[in-house]
Structure 1
Amino acid sequence: MKPRSSPASVAHSGLCHHWRHHRTHGLGTRGGSLIGLLVEQSGWPWLKAALAVGGGNLLLAFIFLLAMSKRLSSMRWFADTLNEFKKDRAWLARQTGKR
């Protein structure tokens, strides 16, 4: 009598076969992603490739955040509006001083 496989082992073996099928026939469905490319070309495990790509994304986001915060802090927000308020205050002070 043949030992019976558990559903998890059957599903796992099906996934492995499906992955090997795509691996032997080019990049397959995962070829469009950087993670898939790293796994296929370098032989890295999927988790290592995903962590490397995620870390790179976080590093780029941090660099862009620093650049934008530096640029935004040097801008003078609502400069024209603030100048108009100063003119209005001066005009109101002249008007109330006349009475």
Structure 2
Amino acid sequence: MIVDYLLDEKTSQSSGQKYLQEAINFLKKVPGMSIDQLKLTINDKSTTALNFSDGSGKLFYVINAAQIHHVYIFDEMNFCRFAGYVGWIHSNGLKNAVELIKNYWC
């Protein structure tokens, strides 16, 4: 499913869509994804910080003190465009999704 989505989306990149929006659409499909209210704090540990290769923005993958996995996407003006998290049971799925985003769009 993930590979099929990525292969379909690779063809649409030539139509001018930014990688940022592609990554957001992809993350929305991660099992267990919930919208976050951007509660990023000083105690949160950013395990991954990625820049999209087209310059459209950046992604931060964060594990908070409660070991909840969050993902934040900011545009080139540092405006938060997506904030989401998954529960413990879905954390491996989110880790895999971030790794695929890194390989395809960063």
- The answer to which structure has the higher helix fraction is 1
TM-score range, shorter chain: under 0.3
- The answer to which structure has the higher strand fraction is 2
Per the normalisation by structure 1, the TM-score is 0.19
Per the normalisation by structure 2, the TM-score is 0.19
Which structure's CA Rg is the greater one? 1
